[in-house]
Amino acid sequence: MKPKNNNEFHFKLNIIVFVLVIFVGGFLFFLIPKKAISENEQRKLSKFPKFSSKSFFSGNYTDSIDLYYADNFVFREKFLTFVEEMKNKYGFQNKKLAVYHSKNTAELDEEQIIEDDLIDSVANKSDTLTVMVKNDTLKSKKSVNEKVISYDRAIFVYKNKAFQLYCGSRKRMQKFAELVNLYQKVLSPRTQIHCLAIPQLHKYFLPEKNWANSEREKNEIDYLYLKLAYGVKSVKVYQEIEKHKGEYMYFNTDHHWTGLGAYYAYRAFCSSAGFTPYELSDFETKAIKPFYGRLYNLTLSPELKQNPDSVVYYKFPITTSIKIARRGNDFKRGRTGDLIVEYAKGVNSYSVFLGGDFPLLKVISDVKTNRKILVIKDSNGNAFAPFLSLHFSEVYVADYRYYKSNIVELIRENQITDFIFVHSTIVINRNYTVSKETNLLGKYRHIIKKNILKNDY
């Protein structure tokens, strides 16, 4: 009889525990305030749907309720972190290098179109470096000499630092050079064209012995600059950053460069454009911390969790004001902004620079010059563009992903004297970039032949 009593006791205990968990979980679900944004995933969480007869009978209403509960269950953020930590304990663990390869890495630049064929392996096939490949929930041990992995969307974690590899090609660099030369043909001589390629510099994040072609990115940036038409000024960022190897120029957990990296790019620009750069000692230096960036949120790597970033920014000895265009090139009905948004925090800390990504904004500086500059950029340009207000009376900043108006009209209506491309080498190597920025020229894009001007450098 005792075994029977024990079974009954355990049966009742299981029921009590189950009901208790459901009751407490449900109570806490309604009691604890809901978050609007997931800090781990850097996305908006689902809200409770509004009822309508159409959504109810179509099934969308109940599906939306499922999403709401999935996004808002109790202690969800801690649970996701715990799950990722447990997954990292499975199987063989490599202390040197982890490679996360997921379709979600396409979100890094928040673009609608991502090129699938941008795959050029950077690994030396004879390399014996063992890596851990983490493909969503799939994890397996591989050796680089067994199979060349597609690295264009991979995130590498090495010594508590995350980064992406340069996976471009000369063919793609040639296409971007043709784009720059097209702008030169349309806009010169009234507007001076500059080109600034932001390097990934992965060779400084891995042992050089593991990558036989670590100089490839530099060589292809040089190739890009070589193909630029006469009169276009190339900004030698790579060479300037190389002088400061070991400094905090790239984030540990994010795909952007830091304020310091952008400052060294500004020095390179001054050298090319003929300005005398400000020294860091001329600025007030401040920081926002801790900061966990996009690469951490895509991987939830325990190694990155131990190495948070700080977003360093600088206050300039000038006065500026910002106007954000409401639509197209219209600043009259736009709103105001800030060069440095000091209340930025958490996952949005990088938005301290310009307040984030806008289709078009204008910085008005009290610097008295007769020069104005337009920056066409990806999000890396946010940290760089503020420095230009030190030398230009007006700085226009257009994000190539969101700006949709005629860029030639913008330049001519505002008598803009300088134009600069500011892109990472990853963005430069995308067909989407070339296509989007070609279309911004409107009718003027048809005025030149496919075979662009021959370089005279």
Same domain, 415 and 321: yes
What's the number of domains the chain is made of? 3
- In this structure, are 370 and 433 located in the same domain? yes
Q: pLDDT at position 89, please? A: 52
Domain boundary among the residues 29, 61, 87 is at 87
Angle at 302 (CA atoms; ends 298, 306), nearest 5 degrees:
110
Residue 267 and residue 359 in one domain: yes
What is the C-alpha radius of gyration for the chain, rounded to an integer number of angstroms?
26
pTM: 0.74
Q: What is the pLDDT of residues 400-433, one digit of tens each?
A: 999 999 999 999 999 999 999 999 999 999 999 9
Q: Are residues 140 and 211 in the same domain?
A: no
Q: Is residue 296 part of a domain?
A: yes
Q: Is residue 454 part of a domain?
A: no
Domain co-membership, 236 together with 321: yes
Distances (CA, A) of 180 to 54, 184, 201, 273, 347: 50, 6, 23, 17, 34
For residues 232 and 195, is the Cβ–Cβ distance under 8 A?
Answer: yes
Exposure string of 157-180, with b = 16+ CB inside 10 Å and e = fewer, is bbeebbbbbbbbeeebbebbbbbb
Q: Does residue 1 sit within a domain?
A: no
Residue 326 included in any domain: yes
The reply to whether 115 and 171 lie within a common domain is no
Instruction: Please answer whether residues 297 and 283 qualify as being in contact, where contact means their C-beta atoms are separated by less than 8 angstroms.
Output: no
3 domain residue, yes or no: no
pLDDT digits (tens, 9 = 90+) for 291-326: 999 999 888 888 899 999 999 999 999 999 999 998
Report the distance separating Cα 457 and Cα 451, nearest Å.
17
Q: Which of 50-59, 128-137, 281-290, 387-396 has the lowest mean pLDDT?
A: 128-137
Same domain? 150 vs 208: no
Strand pairing class (309-315; 284-291)? antiparallel
- Asked whether residue 218 falls in the same domain as residue 327, the answer is yes
Helix axes 431-439, 170-187, angle to 10 degrees: 10
pLDDT value of residue 53? 73
Residues 323 and 255 in one domain: yes
pLDDT at residue 56, as a whole number = 67
Q: 248-267 burial string, b = 16+ CB within 10 Å, else e?
A: ebbbbbbbbbbbbbbbbbbb
Residue 70's CB is within 10 A of a number of other CB atoms, namely 11
Tell me what the mean pLDDT of segment 20-40 comes to.
Answer: 64
Q: Of 135, 162, 189, which residue sits at a domain end? A: 162
pLDDT digits (tens, 9 = 90+) for 103-121: 555 445 433 222 222 222 2
Q: What is the pLDDT of residue 156?
A: 84
Residues 220, 153, single domain; the answer is no
Q: Which of 432, 428, 408, 356 is nearest to 167 (CA)?
A: 428
Task: Tell me, yes or no, whether 136 lies in a domain.
Answer: yes
In a domain, 12, yes or no: no
Cβ 256 vs Cβ 206: under 8 Å: no
Q: Are 351 and 395 within 8 A, CB to CB? A: no
- Among the candidates 131, 162, 193, a domain finishes at 162
Is 15 among the domain residues?
Answer: no
Say what the pLDDT of residue 103 is.
53
Nearest to 304 by CA among 312, 294, 314, 319: 294
Domain span at 138: 91-162
**309 and 172 share a domain?**
yes
The answer to whether residues 209 and 251 belong to one domain is yes
Q: State residue 232's pLDDT score.
A: 97
